[in-house]
Amino acid sequence: MESKETGTMLSAFLMQRMSSLISAVLGGYGVFCVIYSFSSPEVAGRALVLLGAALALSYFSRRQ
């Protein structure tokens, strides 16, 4: 039988991994938007928002 503490540790681990995955996806799309903004300048704002969100998620998910 699994204890409550083990379940809590597992869910915390999964949440940290999911936030890392979401950060990587946002960052990857942000880099794509930066490259695409050379031909379409209105995409540059979206790139800044996406890269900022990825950076914030990465920064705050690693703090203990």
For 33, the domain range is: 4-61
pTM (two decimals)? 0.78
**Is the model's pLDDT at 43 over the cut of 60?**
yes
- Nearest 5 degrees, angle CA 53-CA 55-CA 41? 60
**CA gap 54, 22 in Å, rounded:** 8
Percentage of the chain beyond pLDDT 70 is 92
**CA gap 54, 35 in Å, rounded:** 17
Helical packing angle, 4-36 and 44-61, nearest 10°: 160
CA dihedral 48, 36, 21, 16 (to 10 degrees): -10
**Is the model's pLDDT at 64 over the cut of 70?**
no
Split into its structural domains, the chain has a count of: 1
**Is the model's pLDDT at 5 over the cut of 80?**
no
